[in-house]
Amino acid sequence: MKTKRYLIPAAALLVAAFGVPAQADTLENLERERALALETLLSPDVSPAEREDRTALSRARLVDLERMVMRDDNLKGKNTPAVRTAFESYDLTFLVHASVERNRSLVDHWLEQVGVTTNSLMSARMGRR
Amino acid sequence: MAKRLLPTGSALVILAALAGPPGAWAATDPGAVTWNPVASERLVKLPGSYLRRAIDNDFAGSSLASEIRDVQGLMSLKAQTLADLQNAVEQSDGDLRVELQHQFLAEKREYLELASKHQDLRRQQMTVKQRLLRRLLGKLDRQEAANTPERAALIEKQEAARSRLEGTISQVDIKIFNNPTVGQSKYSKEYAKNVLAIERLVQAIKAHPMNEGSEIDGRPVTKKEYLRQLMAETEADLQIVDQEATVLGYMAKLIALDALALSDLLSDPTPGDGSDDDDGEETGITAAVDFFVAQ
């Protein structure tokens, strides 16, 4: 009886200690990595070969980070502006998965999502602002 | 002889002492024994079947529970004494019979005191339990209220995003990780390994008897419904305790009448029957009704 009395709080403590693992801010990490990837893609100072190498590594990291965000239970129902915005635009947040899904290159997919398409570029007129 | 053993004056004193309601005799000192359960977040999160056990275990460790157990033990000892005395009264006659009848009356009075105390303690237990359940229900209501439409919409979006991403995982793996310069990441490898272990553990948790969902008569119910059911059960227990108080009242009345009969017998020693028949009823303390209805 005495052992039972000590066992129950001990079990509860165990569940409390291991129930919710500590998490880094996965969404913040994803956004940082995505910003760096886009910087590489759009930077005019990087050679095509170097861009290809850097993008390949970035893409692999982004795949992991996108999955980590999606599997992060701490974000479930977390009604903050950052989380709301992230899930409002899936195609921009989960850039690699969305681009593969649509069978486009990363940069093409991103440009399309921000409203820059081949058609929009072709129909653009040069002018003075 | 009877008068020597039990003078009329003392019979009247007994009568006066026995005439009061049982509640007035009870020597319970309120507040001395307590049970102070806390409606914690942990309790709210517990699965239904375990919630009931957790409340029962918490109660079992309280001073109120040990007092109830003690009083219960004393009541069964007293019931045994009453049975012995009843037999002794039936087998005796003359002055000894009167003396034993007097003792029998005194013991019945003490039994009533204990039964009354037992009822007070049980009423205290039920009241505290009901207050606890009400608090838990309130917490559950507040948690549900926190689930705003915006939050619900966000969760819906997250779930849609998750299933969309899950649908493209293998496609992404083929396209990205088939590249010999990249290879599969440590996270992907470890995650795949852990998923298998997690799935096995989840199955074991689902099958674990301590993780049974809330059920009423084998029908799965929500946590709120289960709490309401527990509250209804506690209310029913309280009603039973109140009904038992009525039984105690009748027992007290019978003791008073028996004392009157004994007093009559002492003032007029011709043997009278002095018995009052009254219908005793059911459960718990009703097992002792025979001591009160028989002379």
Q: What is the pLDDT of residues A68-88, one digit of tens each?
A: 999 998 998 898 999 999 999
Give the pLDDT confidence of B44-90 residue by residue, as tens digits: 888 777 888 899 999 999 999 999 999 999 999 999 999 999 999 88
Say how many C-beta atoms besides its own lie within 10 A of residue B164's C-beta: 16
A with B: how many residue pairs have Cβ under 8 Å apart? Answer: 77
Q: What is the pTM of this model?
A: 0.57
Whether A116 shows a pLDDT value over 90: the answer reads no
Q: What is the mean pLDDT of the segment spanning B195-206?
A: 86
Q: Per the CB < 8 Å rule, is A77 touching B161?
A: no
Contacts of B113 (CB under 8 A, 6+ apart): B22, B25, B26, B27
Q: Per the CB < 8 Å rule, is A60 touching B172?
A: no
**Which of B242, B276, B273 is CA-nearest to residue B256?**
B276
Q: How long a stretch of residues is chain A?
A: 129
- SS3 of residue B216 by DSSP: strand
Supply the ipTM of this predicted assembly.
0.75
- SS3 of residue B214 by DSSP: coil
Of B57, B162, B172, which is closest to A63 when you measure between CB atoms?
B172
Backbone φ and ψ of B281, nearest 5°: -130, 170
| B220 strand-pairing partners | B215
* Interface mutation target, options B57, B158, B181, B210, chain A, most CBs of A under 10 Å: B158
Contacts of B112 (CB under 8 A, 6+ apart): B22, B25, B248, B251, B252, B255
Chain A residues lying within 8 Å of B161, measured CB to CB: 70, 87, 90, 94
Q: How far apart are CA B3 and CA B12, in angstroms?
A: 13
Q: How long a stretch of residues is chain B?
A: 295
% of chain A at pLDDT higher than 70: 81
Q: What is the pLDDT of residue B283?
A: 45
- SS3 of residue B220 by DSSP: strand
Looking at chain A, which residue has its C-alpha nearest residue B150?
A79
Q: What residues of chain B have any CB closer than 8 angstroms to a CB in chain A?
A: 42, 54, 57, 61, 147-148, 150-151, 154-155, 157-158, 161-162, 164-165, 167-169, 171-172, 175-177, 179, 181-182, 185, 187-188, 191
Dump the DSSP string for B74-126. Answer: HHHHHHHHHHHHHHHHHH--HHHHHHHHHHHHHHHHHHHHHHHHHHHHHHHHH
Distances (CA, A) of A45 to A42, A51, A100, B179: 9, 10, 27, 25
The nearest CA of chain A is from the CA of B43 a distance in Å of: 10
* Interface mutation target, options A5, A78, A79, chain B, most CBs of B under 10 Å: A79
